[in-house]
């Protein structure tokens, strides 16, 4: 069956009220659309955690910088609806910008902690306040008790978990493992920007992270392993924003050898910015 599409907060609330009246729980999967199999993994995990799943599709302008790709960000609502129908998703929330951001809105969320780790925030300073604000709104609007986010955007996952905790929003945020192509490349809506030859090169990000993780497991210092990964990506023609080893929970720079580590990378290939991360 085709999912029902609602575009206002009022109609979203009406739909979830029905579920609540029937004692059915629901999870939310926030997305910006142009759905791929990575998003679908989040939907499937949503159905593991709740009776119903609502997927939001909203290209959030407040998380894009002035020079970023808001206007060319891929949109394909028809294709998205078809993919979600195949998964049995009953409800899609696809609000307009005007519905989400009242012209008179005077409130937004500003975050420190994981949002100021010196990773994505260093290159996209406006990004996490925009994400935290829209995700907090989606949590409150949907009244879901579970939310699915991808490990793919690892710093974002940490930011959203922290935001929900700090604001006492009664929702559990689940991280879902990164879904990858056969060659290891993390699936992303932005991969469609890549030319054919860039696409075959792009797998080097995952490969260099995997190699760095292997070296660290074999006793190499995390800083020198990530520096080597960064150098090899630069040699291959990437413009590297960062390759970093961080504490997997706090995202702080590691200070001892027993901490759980996450390796995170962001690099440009031509006009496309790619990110990825793995655990050690």
Alpha-carbon distance of 124 to 115, in angstroms, equals: 11
Which of 19, 127 has the CB closer to ligand AMP? 127
Per the residue annotation, which of 36, 39, 110, 126 is the catalytic one? 39
**Using the rule CB under 6 A, is 38 a contact of ligand AMP?**
yes
Separation of CA 269 from chain center:
20
Please state, in angstroms and rounded to a whole number, the distance separating the CA atoms of residues 173 and 164: 8
Residue 202 touches ligand AMP, criterion: CB under 6 A: no
Indicate if 26 belongs to the active site.
Answer: no
Under rule CB under 6 A, residue 63 binds ligand AMP: no
Would strands 4-6 and 172-176 be described as parallel, antiparallel, or unpaired? unpaired
Binding track, positions 118-157, relative to ligand AMP; x by CB under 6 A: -------------------------------xx-xx----
* Min dist. Cβ of residue 17 to ligand AMP (A): 26
- What is the bridge-based pairing of β-strands 91-93 and 4-6? parallel
- The residues near 128 (Cβ < 8 Å, ≥ 6 apart) are 63, 111, 115, 120, 121, 155, 156, 159
Q: According to CB under 6 A, which one of 26, 39, 52, 161 is a site residue for ligand AMP? A: 39
DSSP label of 96: -
Q: Which residues bind ligand AMP (CB under 6 A)?
A: 31-32, 38-39, 41-42, 149-150, 152-153, 176, 178-179, 186-189
Catalytic residues: 39
């Amino acid at each position: 069956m085709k999912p029902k599409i609602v575009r206002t907060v009022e109609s979203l609330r009406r739909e979830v009220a029905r579920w609540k009246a029937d004692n059915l729980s629901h999870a939310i999967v926030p997305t910006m659309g142009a759905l791929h199999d990575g998003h679908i993994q989040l939907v499937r995990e949503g159905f593991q955690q709740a009776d119903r799943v609502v997927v939001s599709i909203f290209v959030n302008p407040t998380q894009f910088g002035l020079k970023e790709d808001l206007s060319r960000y891929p949109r394909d609502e028809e294709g998205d609806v078809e993919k979600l129908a195949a998964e049995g998703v009953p409800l899609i929330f696809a609000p307009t910008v005007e519905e989400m951001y009242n012209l008179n809105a005077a409130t937004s969320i500003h975050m420190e902690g994981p949002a100021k780790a010196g990773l994505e925030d260093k290159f996209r300073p406006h990004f996490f306040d925009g994400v935290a604000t829209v995700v907090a709104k989606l949590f409150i609007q949907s009244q879901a008790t579970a939310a699915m986010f991808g490990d793919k955007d690892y710093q974002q996952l940490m930011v959203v978990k922290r935001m929900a905790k700090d604001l006492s929003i009664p929702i559990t945020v689940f991280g879902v493992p990164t879904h990858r192509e056969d060659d290891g490349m993390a699936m992303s809506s932005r991969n469609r920007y890549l030319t054919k030859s860039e696409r075959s090169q792009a797998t080097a990000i995952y490969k260099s992270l995997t190699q760095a993780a292997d070296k660290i497991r074999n006793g190499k210092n995390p800083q020198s392993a990530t520096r080597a990964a960064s150098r090899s990506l630069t040699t291959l023609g990437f413009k590297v924003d960062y390759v970093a080893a961080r504490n997997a929970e706090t995202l702080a720079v590691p200070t001892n050898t027993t901490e759980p580590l996450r390796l995170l990378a962001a690099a440009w290939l031509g006009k496309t910015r790619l990110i990825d991360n793995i655990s050690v």
